[in-house]
Protein backbone atom coordinates (compact mmCIF):
# COMPACT_ATOMS: atom_id res chain seq x y z
CA UNK A 1 0.00 0.00 0.00
CA UNK A 2 1.22 3.51 -0.78
CA UNK A 3 0.10 6.85 0.60
CA UNK A 4 1.44 9.18 -2.05
CA UNK A 5 -1.21 11.88 -1.60
CA UNK A 6 0.26 15.38 -1.60
CA UNK A 7 0.75 17.43 1.56
CA UNK A 8 -1.99 19.98 0.76
CA UNK A 9 -4.64 17.32 0.14
CA UNK A 10 -3.70 15.44 3.31
CA UNK A 11 -3.90 18.70 5.25
CA UNK A 12 -7.37 19.45 3.83
CA UNK A 13 -8.61 15.99 4.81
CA UNK A 14 -7.24 16.39 8.33
CA UNK A 15 -9.06 19.72 8.63
CA UNK A 16 -12.42 18.26 7.65
CA UNK A 17 -11.94 15.31 10.00
CA UNK A 18 -11.05 17.68 12.87
CA UNK A 19 -14.23 19.68 12.25
CA UNK A 20 -16.51 16.64 12.44
CA UNK A 21 -18.74 17.90 15.32
CA UNK A 22 -19.01 21.42 13.88
CA UNK A 23 -19.87 20.11 10.44
CA UNK A 24 -22.72 18.10 11.95
CA UNK A 25 -24.28 21.42 13.00
CA UNK A 26 -23.37 23.34 9.85
CA UNK A 27 -24.69 20.61 7.57
CA UNK A 28 -28.18 20.90 9.02
CA UNK A 29 -28.20 24.67 8.60
CA UNK A 30 -27.63 24.65 4.86
CA UNK A 31 -30.13 23.77 2.16
CA UNK A 32 -27.38 22.31 -0.04
CA UNK A 33 -25.16 19.89 1.93
CA UNK A 34 -22.46 19.98 -0.70
CA UNK A 35 -21.93 23.66 0.02
CA UNK A 36 -20.20 22.88 3.30
CA UNK A 37 -17.39 20.68 2.00
CA UNK A 38 -16.64 23.04 -0.86
CA UNK A 39 -15.83 25.92 1.51
CA UNK A 40 -12.20 27.14 1.51
CA UNK A 41 -10.00 26.31 4.47
CA UNK A 42 -10.37 29.74 6.09
CA UNK A 43 -14.16 29.50 6.04
CA UNK A 44 -14.05 26.02 7.54
CA UNK A 45 -11.67 27.11 10.28
CA UNK A 46 -14.07 29.93 11.16
CA UNK A 47 -16.69 27.34 12.15
CA UNK A 48 -14.70 26.70 15.35
CA UNK A 49 -14.76 29.91 17.35
CA UNK A 50 -12.54 28.40 20.06
CA UNK A 51 -9.53 28.27 17.74
CA UNK A 52 -8.58 24.73 18.80
CA UNK A 53 -8.99 23.30 15.32
CA UNK A 54 -6.91 26.13 13.85
CA UNK A 55 -4.12 25.28 16.29
CA UNK A 56 -4.06 21.59 15.37
CA UNK A 57 -4.34 22.51 11.70
CA UNK A 58 -1.23 24.67 11.95
CA UNK A 59 0.68 21.78 13.57
CA UNK A 60 -0.39 19.18 10.99
CA UNK A 61 2.47 16.88 9.91
CA UNK A 62 1.93 15.20 6.50
CA UNK A 63 4.57 12.56 7.25
CA UNK A 64 2.71 11.31 10.31
CA UNK A 65 -0.55 11.24 8.33
CA UNK A 66 1.05 9.05 5.68
CA UNK A 67 2.45 6.72 8.33
CA UNK A 68 -1.02 6.29 9.86
CA UNK A 69 -2.52 5.51 6.46
CA UNK A 70 0.09 2.86 5.68
CA UNK A 71 -0.11 1.49 9.23
CA UNK A 72 -3.85 0.99 8.76
CA UNK A 73 -3.22 -1.04 5.62
CA UNK A 74 -4.65 1.61 3.30
CA UNK A 75 -3.61 3.24 0.07
CA UNK A 76 -4.28 6.92 -0.54
CA UNK A 77 -4.76 8.86 -3.76
CA UNK A 78 -5.40 12.59 -3.89
CA UNK A 79 -7.27 14.68 -6.44
CA UNK A 80 -3.97 16.03 -7.75
CA UNK A 81 -3.11 12.56 -9.06
CA UNK A 82 -3.89 11.36 -12.56
CA UNK A 83 -5.36 8.09 -11.27
CA UNK A 84 -7.94 9.89 -9.13
CA UNK A 85 -11.40 8.79 -10.40
CA UNK A 86 -12.43 11.17 -13.15
CA UNK A 87 -16.12 10.93 -12.34
CA UNK A 88 -15.53 12.34 -8.85
CA UNK A 89 -13.99 15.46 -10.35
CA UNK A 90 -17.47 16.42 -11.54
CA UNK A 91 -18.60 16.94 -7.94
CA UNK A 92 -18.63 20.51 -6.66
CA UNK A 93 -16.70 19.23 -3.64
CA UNK A 94 -14.55 16.27 -4.74
CA UNK A 95 -12.78 14.75 -1.73
CA UNK A 96 -9.17 15.79 -1.37
CA UNK A 97 -8.01 12.23 -0.61
CA UNK A 98 -9.49 8.78 -1.13
CA UNK A 99 -8.37 6.20 1.44
CA UNK A 100 -8.60 2.73 -0.06
CA UNK A 101 -8.66 -0.72 1.53
CA UNK A 102 -8.19 -3.40 -1.11
CA UNK A 103 -7.51 -2.88 -4.79
CA UNK A 104 -7.04 0.77 -5.85
CA UNK A 105 -7.48 -0.25 -9.50
CA UNK A 106 -11.12 -1.09 -8.70
CA UNK A 107 -11.79 2.65 -8.84
CA UNK A 108 -10.51 2.99 -12.40
CA UNK A 109 -13.67 1.70 -14.05
CA UNK A 110 -16.10 4.25 -15.49
CA UNK A 111 -19.16 2.10 -16.14
CA UNK A 112 -20.17 1.46 -12.53
CA UNK A 113 -23.71 1.12 -11.20
CA UNK A 114 -24.76 2.27 -7.73
CA UNK A 115 -27.35 0.11 -5.97
CA UNK A 116 -28.84 1.65 -2.84
CA UNK A 117 -31.97 1.25 -0.77
CA UNK A 118 -33.62 0.61 2.57
CA UNK A 119 -31.64 -0.59 5.57
CA UNK A 120 -34.66 -2.63 6.63
CA UNK A 121 -35.38 -4.13 3.26
CA UNK A 122 -38.16 -6.62 2.72
CA UNK A 123 -37.37 -10.13 1.42
CA UNK A 124 -38.49 -8.88 -2.01
CA UNK A 125 -36.12 -5.90 -1.98
CA UNK A 126 -33.18 -7.90 -0.65
CA UNK A 127 -33.62 -10.61 -3.26
CA UNK A 128 -33.85 -8.04 -6.08
CA UNK A 129 -30.69 -6.31 -4.81
CA UNK A 130 -28.81 -9.58 -4.56
CA UNK A 131 -29.92 -10.64 -8.03
CA UNK A 132 -28.95 -7.32 -9.61
CA UNK A 133 -25.56 -7.40 -7.88
CA UNK A 134 -24.94 -10.89 -9.17
CA UNK A 135 -26.17 -10.14 -12.68
CA UNK A 136 -24.17 -6.94 -13.07
CA UNK A 137 -20.98 -8.61 -11.83
CA UNK A 138 -21.57 -11.40 -14.37
CA UNK A 139 -21.86 -8.76 -17.08
CA UNK A 140 -18.59 -7.16 -15.99
CA UNK A 141 -20.18 -4.09 -14.38
CA UNK A 142 -18.84 -3.07 -10.93
CA UNK A 143 -21.43 -2.50 -8.21
CA UNK A 144 -21.00 0.54 -5.95
CA UNK A 145 -22.87 0.79 -2.65
CA UNK A 146 -22.50 1.77 0.99
CA UNK A 147 -22.19 -1.62 2.76
CA UNK A 148 -25.12 -0.63 4.96
CA UNK A 149 -27.59 -3.14 6.35
CA UNK A 150 -30.35 -4.20 3.98
CA UNK A 151 -30.27 -3.43 0.27
CA UNK A 152 -26.67 -2.15 0.15
CA UNK A 153 -25.22 -5.29 1.70
CA UNK A 154 -27.47 -7.55 -0.39
CA UNK A 155 -26.20 -5.95 -3.60
CA UNK A 156 -22.59 -6.43 -2.49
CA UNK A 157 -23.26 -10.03 -1.50
CA UNK A 158 -24.71 -10.76 -4.92
CA UNK A 159 -21.68 -9.24 -6.65
CA UNK A 160 -19.32 -11.18 -4.40
CA UNK A 161 -21.15 -14.44 -5.11
CA UNK A 162 -20.30 -13.93 -8.75
CA UNK A 163 -16.71 -12.97 -7.95
CA UNK A 164 -16.27 -16.05 -5.77
CA UNK A 165 -17.51 -18.23 -8.61
CA UNK A 166 -14.52 -17.04 -10.62
CA UNK A 167 -16.61 -15.91 -13.59
CA UNK A 168 -14.82 -13.26 -15.62
CA UNK A 169 -16.33 -10.97 -18.21
CA UNK A 170 -15.06 -8.29 -20.54
CA UNK A 171 -15.53 -4.89 -18.85
CA UNK A 172 -18.33 -3.07 -20.64
CA UNK A 173 -16.29 0.10 -20.80
CA UNK A 174 -13.86 -1.74 -23.11
CA UNK A 175 -16.52 -2.61 -25.68
CA UNK A 176 -15.93 -0.92 -29.01
CA UNK A 177 -19.42 0.13 -30.20
CA UNK A 178 -18.15 0.78 -33.72
CA UNK A 179 -16.56 -2.61 -34.08
CA UNK A 180 -19.48 -4.48 -32.56
CA UNK A 181 -17.36 -7.02 -30.74
CA UNK A 182 -15.66 -7.63 -27.43
CA UNK A 183 -11.90 -7.43 -27.06
CA UNK A 184 -9.66 -10.27 -25.97
CA UNK A 185 -8.75 -9.24 -22.41
CA UNK A 186 -11.18 -10.12 -19.62
CA UNK A 187 -11.35 -9.00 -16.00
CA UNK A 188 -13.76 -9.68 -13.17
CA UNK A 189 -15.97 -6.81 -12.01
CA UNK A 190 -14.61 -5.56 -8.68
CA UNK A 191 -17.29 -4.30 -6.23
CA UNK A 192 -16.73 -0.97 -4.47
CA UNK A 193 -18.03 -0.01 -1.03
CA UNK A 194 -17.99 3.60 0.19
CA UNK A 195 -17.97 4.17 3.96
CA UNK A 196 -18.86 7.21 6.02
CA UNK A 197 -16.11 6.40 8.53
CA UNK A 198 -12.58 5.10 8.10
CA UNK A 199 -12.13 2.61 5.26
CA UNK A 200 -10.25 0.10 7.41
CA UNK A 201 -13.04 -0.22 10.01
CA UNK A 202 -16.16 -2.23 9.07
CA UNK A 203 -19.39 -0.31 9.50
CA UNK A 204 -21.69 -1.62 10.73
CA UNK A 205 -19.49 -3.92 12.80
CA UNK A 206 -21.77 -6.86 12.04
CA UNK A 207 -20.61 -6.64 8.42
CA UNK A 208 -16.98 -7.44 9.27
CA UNK A 209 -16.91 -10.56 7.08
CA UNK A 210 -18.50 -8.66 4.18
CA UNK A 211 -15.86 -5.94 4.59
CA UNK A 212 -13.10 -8.57 4.40
CA UNK A 213 -14.53 -10.06 1.21
CA UNK A 214 -14.92 -6.63 -0.41
CA UNK A 215 -11.30 -5.81 0.38
CA UNK A 216 -10.28 -9.16 -1.10
CA UNK A 217 -12.26 -8.93 -4.33
CA UNK A 218 -12.63 -5.16 -4.78
CA UNK A 219 -12.13 -2.21 -2.49
CA UNK A 220 -13.58 -0.22 0.39
CA UNK A 221 -13.07 3.52 0.14
CA UNK A 222 -13.55 6.60 2.31
CA UNK A 223 -12.64 10.26 2.07
CA UNK A 224 -11.92 10.29 5.79
CA UNK A 225 -8.59 9.22 7.35
CA UNK A 226 -7.91 6.24 9.65
CA UNK A 227 -9.32 6.76 13.13
CA UNK A 228 -12.27 8.87 11.97
CA UNK A 229 -15.65 7.97 13.49
CA UNK A 230 -18.63 8.90 11.34
CA UNK A 231 -21.06 11.67 12.27
CA UNK A 232 -24.59 12.06 10.88
CA UNK A 233 -23.41 14.37 8.11
CA UNK A 234 -20.83 11.79 7.05
CA UNK A 235 -23.49 9.43 5.70
CA UNK A 236 -24.99 12.04 3.40
CA UNK A 237 -21.47 13.01 2.32
CA UNK A 238 -20.81 9.31 1.64
CA UNK A 239 -23.90 9.18 -0.58
CA UNK A 240 -22.54 11.89 -2.87
CA UNK A 241 -19.44 9.74 -3.46
CA UNK A 242 -21.57 6.70 -4.30
CA UNK A 243 -23.46 8.78 -6.86
CA UNK A 244 -20.23 10.39 -8.04
CA UNK A 245 -18.52 7.08 -8.78
CA UNK A 246 -21.51 5.63 -10.64
CA UNK A 247 -22.67 6.15 -14.20
CA UNK A 248 -26.17 5.06 -13.14
CA UNK A 249 -27.89 4.95 -9.74
CA UNK A 250 -30.53 2.32 -9.01
CA UNK A 251 -32.75 2.64 -5.92
CA UNK A 252 -34.42 -0.48 -4.49
CA UNK A 253 -36.99 0.15 -1.75
CA UNK A 254 -37.00 3.54 -0.10
CA UNK A 255 -39.52 5.30 2.10
CA UNK A 256 -40.53 8.85 1.25
CA UNK A 257 -37.83 10.31 3.51
CA UNK A 258 -35.24 7.58 2.99
CA UNK A 259 -31.59 8.55 3.11
CA UNK A 260 -30.97 6.54 -0.03
CA UNK A 261 -33.02 9.11 -1.97
CA UNK A 262 -30.23 11.61 -1.31
CA UNK A 263 -27.99 9.42 -3.47
CA UNK A 264 -30.53 9.75 -6.28
CA UNK A 265 -30.61 13.53 -5.71
CA UNK A 266 -26.83 13.76 -6.01
CA UNK A 267 -26.89 11.67 -9.21
CA UNK A 268 -29.55 13.97 -10.70
CA UNK A 269 -27.49 17.04 -9.78
CA UNK A 270 -24.59 15.50 -11.71
CA UNK A 271 -26.86 14.96 -14.71
CA UNK A 272 -26.60 11.19 -14.46
CA UNK A 273 -29.51 8.79 -14.90
CA UNK A 274 -31.49 7.44 -11.97
CA UNK A 275 -33.54 4.25 -12.06
CA UNK A 276 -35.74 2.46 -9.53
CA UNK A 277 -37.29 -0.92 -8.90
CA UNK A 278 -41.09 -0.71 -8.62
CA UNK A 279 -42.70 -2.00 -5.44
CA UNK A 280 -46.18 -2.53 -4.01
CA UNK A 281 -48.14 0.72 -3.81
CA UNK A 282 -49.41 -0.42 -0.40
CA UNK A 283 -45.91 -0.61 1.08
CA UNK A 284 -44.29 2.41 2.70
CA UNK A 285 -40.93 0.89 1.81
CA UNK A 286 -41.77 1.46 -1.87
CA UNK A 287 -43.17 5.00 -1.56
CA UNK A 288 -39.83 6.62 -2.39
CA UNK A 289 -38.96 4.36 -5.31
CA UNK A 290 -42.45 4.56 -6.79
CA UNK A 291 -42.20 8.34 -6.44
CA UNK A 292 -38.96 8.31 -8.43
CA UNK A 293 -40.67 6.30 -11.15
CA UNK A 294 -43.59 8.72 -11.25
CA UNK A 295 -41.07 11.56 -11.66
CA UNK A 296 -39.49 9.86 -14.69
CA UNK A 297 -36.81 7.54 -13.31
CA UNK A 298 -36.02 4.48 -15.40
CA UNK A 299 -37.82 1.27 -14.56
CA UNK A 300 -35.66 -1.67 -13.45
CA UNK A 301 -37.11 -5.17 -13.50
CA UNK A 302 -33.89 -7.12 -13.99
CA UNK A 303 -30.25 -6.82 -14.98
CA UNK A 304 -31.11 -6.34 -18.65
CA UNK A 305 -33.04 -3.17 -17.81
CA UNK A 306 -30.00 -1.80 -15.95
CA UNK A 307 -27.67 -2.60 -18.85
CA UNK A 308 -30.08 -1.03 -21.35
CA UNK A 309 -30.10 2.20 -19.36
CA UNK A 310 -26.36 2.11 -18.79
CA UNK A 311 -25.26 1.39 -22.35
CA UNK A 312 -28.34 1.69 -24.51
CA UNK A 313 -30.48 -1.19 -25.82
CA UNK A 314 -28.31 -1.68 -28.91
CA UNK A 315 -24.96 -1.82 -27.10
CA UNK A 316 -22.97 -5.06 -27.38
CA UNK A 317 -22.57 -6.92 -24.11
CA UNK A 318 -21.21 -10.14 -22.79
CA UNK A 319 -24.00 -11.79 -20.81
CA UNK A 320 -25.19 -15.28 -20.24
CA UNK A 321 -28.79 -16.16 -19.43
CA UNK A 322 -29.74 -19.64 -18.27
CA UNK A 323 -32.60 -21.23 -20.17
CA UNK A 324 -35.70 -21.41 -17.92
CA UNK A 325 -36.47 -25.01 -16.98
CA UNK A 326 -40.16 -26.05 -17.10
CA UNK A 327 -41.47 -27.31 -13.75
CA UNK A 328 -44.23 -29.69 -12.82
CA UNK A 329 -47.74 -28.32 -12.01
CA UNK A 330 -47.38 -29.29 -8.32
CA UNK A 331 -44.11 -27.38 -8.03
CA UNK A 332 -45.58 -24.46 -9.98
CA UNK A 333 -48.43 -24.15 -7.46
CA UNK A 334 -45.94 -24.19 -4.60
CA UNK A 335 -43.74 -21.61 -6.33
CA UNK A 336 -46.78 -19.39 -6.95
CA UNK A 337 -47.63 -19.54 -3.22
CA UNK A 338 -44.08 -18.47 -2.31
CA UNK A 339 -44.28 -15.61 -4.82
CA UNK A 340 -47.51 -14.42 -3.17
CA UNK A 341 -45.60 -14.11 0.12
CA UNK A 342 -46.72 -17.34 1.75
CA UNK A 343 -43.17 -18.43 2.51
CA UNK A 344 -43.61 -20.05 5.91
CA UNK A 345 -43.87 -23.82 6.13
CA UNK A 346 -47.16 -23.57 8.06
CA UNK A 347 -48.61 -21.40 5.28
CA UNK A 348 -47.54 -23.85 2.58
CA UNK A 349 -48.83 -27.02 4.26
CA UNK A 350 -52.58 -26.93 4.77
CA UNK A 351 -52.54 -30.67 5.51
CA UNK A 352 -50.07 -31.77 8.24
CA UNK A 353 -49.71 -35.08 6.46
CA UNK A 354 -48.34 -33.28 3.39
CA UNK A 355 -45.47 -31.58 5.26
CA UNK A 356 -42.88 -34.13 4.18
CA UNK A 357 -43.82 -33.78 0.50
CA UNK A 358 -43.84 -29.98 0.69
CA UNK A 359 -40.36 -29.97 2.24
CA UNK A 360 -39.10 -32.25 -0.54
CA UNK A 361 -40.67 -29.96 -3.16
CA UNK A 362 -39.15 -26.85 -1.55
CA UNK A 363 -35.75 -28.53 -1.60
CA UNK A 364 -36.28 -29.33 -5.29
CA UNK A 365 -37.15 -25.71 -6.05
CA UNK A 366 -34.13 -24.52 -4.03
CA UNK A 367 -31.78 -26.83 -5.94
CA UNK A 368 -33.16 -25.43 -9.20
CA UNK A 369 -32.38 -21.92 -7.98
CA UNK A 370 -36.06 -20.89 -7.92
CA UNK A 371 -36.48 -20.28 -4.18
CA UNK A 372 -34.13 -19.45 -1.35
CA UNK A 373 -34.47 -20.06 2.40
CA UNK A 374 -34.14 -16.91 4.43
CA UNK A 375 -33.08 -16.49 8.05
CA UNK A 376 -35.98 -17.72 10.19
CA UNK A 377 -36.95 -20.49 7.80
CA UNK A 378 -39.12 -18.55 5.36
CA UNK A 379 -38.78 -19.17 1.64
CA UNK A 380 -38.63 -16.37 -0.94
CA UNK A 381 -38.55 -16.35 -4.71
CA UNK A 382 -34.99 -16.33 -6.03
CA UNK A 383 -34.69 -13.98 -8.99
CA UNK A 384 -32.69 -15.73 -11.67
CA UNK A 385 -31.61 -14.05 -14.90
CA UNK A 386 -33.69 -15.07 -17.87
CA UNK A 387 -36.89 -15.73 -15.93
Q: What are phi and psi of 72, to 5 degrees?
A: -85, 0
Q: Answer whether residue 84 is part of any domain.
A: no
- H/E stretch holding 71 reads helix 62-71
Among candidate residues 385, 368, 374, 369, the one with its CA nearest the CA of residue 343: 374
DSSP code of residue 188: P
**Sheet architecture: strand order including 113-117:** 75-78, 97-102, 219-222, 192-194, 143-145, 113-117, 248-252, 274-277, 298-299
d(CA 201, CA 74): 11
* pLDDT value at residue 7: 96
* pLDDT value at residue 124: 87
Print the domain residue range for 377: 329-381
Domain identity same for 263 and 289:
yes
Domain identity same for 237 and 305:
yes
Domain identity same for 304 and 351:
no
Domain CATH for 303: 3.40.50.450
* pLDDT value at residue 168: 45
Domain identity same for 267 and 365:
no
Residue 77's SS3 state is strand
* pLDDT value at residue 30: 55
Domain identity same for 296 and 334:
no
Domain identity same for 243 and 358:
no
Question: In the chain, which stretches have pLDDT less than 50?
Answer: 167-187, 319-323, 385-387
Q: Answer whether residue 91 is part of any domain.
A: no
Domain identity same for 111 and 188:
yes
Q: Answer whether residue 79 is part of any domain.
A: no
Q: Answer whether residue 366 is part of any domain.
A: yes
* pLDDT value at residue 308: 94
From 261, 285, 311, give the residue that closes a domain.
311
d(CA 39, CA 255): 31
* pLDDT value at residue 176: 38
Amino acid sequence: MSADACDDCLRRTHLIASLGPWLDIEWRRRSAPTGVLSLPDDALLALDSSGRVALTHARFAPGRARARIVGAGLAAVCRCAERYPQRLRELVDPPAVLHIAGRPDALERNECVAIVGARRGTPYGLEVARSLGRGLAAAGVPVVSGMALGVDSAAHIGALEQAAAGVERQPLGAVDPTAGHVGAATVAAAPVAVLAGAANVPYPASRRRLHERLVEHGCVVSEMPPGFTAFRWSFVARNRLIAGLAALTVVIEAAERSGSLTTADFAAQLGRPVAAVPGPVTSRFSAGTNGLLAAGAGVVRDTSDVLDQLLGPAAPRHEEHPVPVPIEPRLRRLLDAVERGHGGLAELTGDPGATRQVLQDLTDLELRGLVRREFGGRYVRALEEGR
